[in-house]
């Protein structure tokens, strides 16, 4: 009887560990594909969001994206997203020129590893540049604009109207930042 009980315990324990491993594997992969509601390609893309809350994931290429309405999350990919600039002018001179645009909601926009033009547009946005020479503008709303990449003087941050917070490196151009 003792041998049967030992075999039963081993079989049940092995089954429980196996089931836990399967659950952990499924939990680790869940959300991987569904995080992005719209995904770019390796080519140069021009992506337009919807009126809902989108998660737009750009990939390689020189891309443009417009989130439109909704509280969107837009993630830049490899490549220069938006037009090329020599950063010498005030942030107020760069509005409306393309790149990654949040649209009408309270958006979260993150640049990629290269040179990006990021604009929050309406409402209260979080705009974060990546590595590279970035232009990050909050525009309307109470925005948080971050261009700190530990390279001094290569980025432009603009808060726009209302009360905005900018986090920049020394010598980066910053305008319209109240905090």
- As to burial, measured by CB atoms within 10 angstroms (0-12 exposed, 13-18 middle, 19+ buried), residue 30 is exposed
The closest alpha carbon to 173, from 88, 80, 115, belongs to 88
For the chain, what is the mean pLDDT?
81
Rounded CA separation 138/108 (Å): 10
Q: What is the DSSP letter of 115?
A: -
For 11-27, what is the mean pLDDT?
Answer: 44
Rounded CA separation 57/109 (Å): 10
- pLDDT, tens digit, for every residue of 70-110? 999 999 999 998 876 555 455 555 555 568 999 999 999 99
Percent residues over pLDDT 90 in the chain: 59
């Amino acid at each position: 009887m003792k041998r049967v009980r030992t075999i039963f315990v081993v079989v049940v324990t092995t089954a429980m560990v196996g089931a836990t491993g399967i659950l952990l594997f499924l939990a680790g992969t869940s959300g991987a594909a569904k995080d992005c509601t719209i995904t770019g390609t390796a080519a140069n893309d021009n992506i337009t969001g919807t009126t809902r809350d989108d998660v737009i994931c750009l990939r390689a290429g020189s891309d443009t994206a417009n989130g439109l309405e909704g509280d969107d999350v837009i993630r830049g990919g490899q490549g220069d997203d938006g037009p090329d600039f020599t950063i010498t002018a005030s942030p107020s001179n760069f509005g409306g020129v393309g790149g990654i645009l949040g649209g009408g909601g309270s958006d979260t926009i993150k640049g990629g590893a290269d040179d990006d033009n990021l604009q929050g547009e309406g409402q209260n946005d979080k705009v974060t540049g990546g590595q590279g020479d970035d232009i990050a503008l909050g525009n309307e709303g109470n925005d948080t604009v971050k261009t700190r990449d530990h390279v001094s003087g290569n980025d432009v941050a603009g808060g726009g109207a209302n009360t905005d917070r900018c986090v920049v490196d020394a010598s980066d151009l910053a305008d319209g930042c109240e905090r």
